[in-house]
């Protein structure tokens, strides 16, 4: 499979399919990794998307990126427990605890954690229980409400690009 990041974007199936180079280093995607979502998902959920790897920095990302024509609510304005019904809460929390411990080991201390795309808030819960200061970013109102009730923390309800977060704050 050959990827041409300069191909024209197209609109189909309720999405704008935005061709992109690597969001980190701007190199063209070079290695097809596989498919995600839709028929490629074990529960046949989501929209099927190609996943590519950057040959320069190795970031793995969807390309083309499906942008919902109806906005993020097209995907996420649903009950959080319904959306994540196939995700075991206990398993997700255990994984979150492991991630937070790894972050603390790397930093050599506890800190202030910003979870981008909080979902049900498992990472925020794990970090809070381990003594971190926490905030989250979640553009889905229903997910943000759910996580805020579970964590008591500030959840920014818009894309991270629109949040007033100071550089170096997290």
Whether 151 and 129 map to the same domain: the answer is yes
H/E element holding 75? Answer: helix 73-76
Residue 112 sits in a domain whose CATH number is: 3.40.50.150
Beta bridge partners of 116: 137
pTM confidence score = 0.70
- How many residues does the structure list for the chain? 170
Whether 87 and 152 map to the same domain: the answer is yes
Instruction: Report whether 120 contacts 142 (CB < 8 A).
Output: no
- Among residues 69, 96, 112, the one where a domain terminates is 69
Is residue 29 domain-resident? yes
Is residue 47 domain-resident? yes
Whether 106 and 149 map to the same domain: the answer is yes
133-137, strands of its sheet edge to edge: 112-116, 133-137, 154-156
Q: What is the pLDDT of residues 8-65, one digit of tens each?
A: 688 888 899 999 999 889 999 999 999 988 776 666 667 889 999 999 999 999 999 9
Tokens for 167, please give them. Answer: 């550089």
Whether 141 and 88 map to the same domain: the answer is yes
Handedness of CA 84, 87, 89, 93 (dihedral sign): negative
Instruction: Report whether 76 contacts 142 (CB < 8 A).
Output: yes
Pick from 46, 42, 75: nearest CA to 142: 75
Is residue 170 domain-resident? no
Q: What is the pLDDT of residues 111-153, one digit of tens each?
A: 999 999 998 899 999 999 999 999 999 988 899 999 999 999 9
- Among residues 48, 69, 90, the one where a domain terminates is 69
Distance of alpha carbon 104 from alpha carbon 115, whole angstroms: 15
What's the number of domains the chain is made of?
A: 2
Q: Which domain holds residue 21?
A: 10-69
Does residue 62 have a cis bond before it (omega within 30 degrees)? Answer: no
Whether 104 and 63 map to the same domain: the answer is no
Pick from 122, 124, 147, 123: nearest CA to 134: 124
What dihedral angle (degrees, nearest 10) is formed by the CA atoms of 133, 137, 143, 145? 60
Whether 46 and 90 map to the same domain: the answer is no
């Amino acid at each position: 499979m050959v990827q041409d990041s300069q191909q024209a974007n197209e609109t189909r199936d309720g999405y704008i399919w935005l061709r992109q180079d690597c969001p980190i280093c701007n190199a063209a995607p070079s290695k097809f990794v596989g498919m995600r979502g839709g028929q490629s998902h074990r529960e046949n959920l989501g929209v099927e998307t190609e996943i590519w790897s950057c040959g320069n920095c190795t970031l793995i990302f969807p390309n083309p990126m499906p942008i919902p024509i109806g906005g993020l609510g097209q995907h996420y304005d649903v009950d959080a427990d319904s959306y994540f019904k196939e995700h075991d809460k206990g398993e997700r929390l255990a994984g979150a605890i492991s991630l937070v411990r790894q972050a603390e080991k790397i930093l050599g201390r506890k800190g202030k954690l910003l979870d981008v795309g909080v979902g049900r808030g498992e990472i925020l819960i794990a970090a809070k229980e381990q003594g971190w200061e926490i905030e989250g970013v979640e553009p889905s109102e229903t997910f943000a409400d759910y996580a805020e009730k579970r964590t008591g923390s500030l959840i920014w309800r818009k894309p991270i690009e629109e949040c007033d977060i100071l550089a170096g704050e997290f």
